[in-house]
Amino acid sequence: MAETLPELSYYRATADHAAWPALQGVAEADVCIIGGGFAGLATAMSLMERGQRSVVLLEAETVGHGASGRNGGFVFGGYSLGERELAGAAGAEQARKLYQLTLDAVATIRRRIARYGIACDAVNGGIYLANWFNNGRILDDHQRFMADTLGVEWQRISRADFAGRARSERYFGALYEENALHFHPLKYAQGLARALAAGGVGVHEQSRVTRIAQAPATSAANAAGARGAGWRIMTAEGEVRAREVVVCCGGYIERLYPRLAGAILPIATYVMVTEPLGSRLPTALATEAAIYDTRFAFDYYRPLPDSRLLWGGRIAVRERSAADVARLLRGDMLKVYPQLAGARIDYAWSGMMSYGRHKMPQLGRLPEGIWYGMGFGGHGVAPTTLSGEVLAAALTGDAGDLSRFQQWGLPTTGGPAGLLAAQLTYWYYELRDWLRQ
Residue 272: which of 233, 321, 325, 199 has the closest Cα? 325
pLDDT mean over 196-222: 83
Q: Which helix (H) or strand (E) holds 240?
A: strand 238-247
Q: Which of 94-108, 110-124, 344-358, 393-407 has the lowest mean pLDDT?
A: 344-358
Asked if 213 contacts 228 with a C-beta cutoff of 8 angstroms, the reply is no
| pLDDT tens per residue across span 309-319 | 999 998 776 78
Which of 68-72, 182-186, 221-225 has the lowest average pLDDT?
221-225
For range 51-65, the mean pLDDT = 96
Poorest-pLDDT segment among 65-74, 164-173, 245-254: 245-254
Task: Please tell me the predicted confidence (pLDDT) of residue 255.
Answer: 77
Could you give phi then psi for residue 299, rounded to 5 degrees?
-85, 155
Please report the pLDDT score of residue 221 as a whole number: 39
- How far apart, in whole angstroms, are the C-alpha atoms of residue 144 and residue 134? 18
pLDDT band at 223 (very low <50, low <70, confident <90, very high): very low
The reported pLDDT for the residue numbered 419 is: 61
Q: Where are the domains of the chain?
A: 2-436
pLDDT of residue 258: 86
**What is the rounded distance in angstroms from the CA atom of residue 354 to the CA atom of residue 213?**
24
Per-residue b or e along 31-51, where b marks 16 or more CB atoms closer than 10 Å to that residue's CB: bbbbbbbbbbbbbbbbbbbee
Tell me what pLDDT residue 2 has. Answer: 44
Q: β-pairing, 181-182 with 74-75?
A: antiparallel
Q: How far apart are CA 431 and CA 437, in angstroms?
A: 10
DSSP state at residue 273: E
Average pLDDT, integer, range 51-74? 96
Domain 2-436 matching CATH 3.40.710.10: the answer reads: no
pLDDT band at residue 227, thresholds of 50, 70 and 90?
Answer: very low
* pLDDT tens string 230-269: 999 999 999 999 999 999 998 777 778 888 888 888 888 8
Q: In this model, does residue 204 exceed pLDDT 70?
A: yes
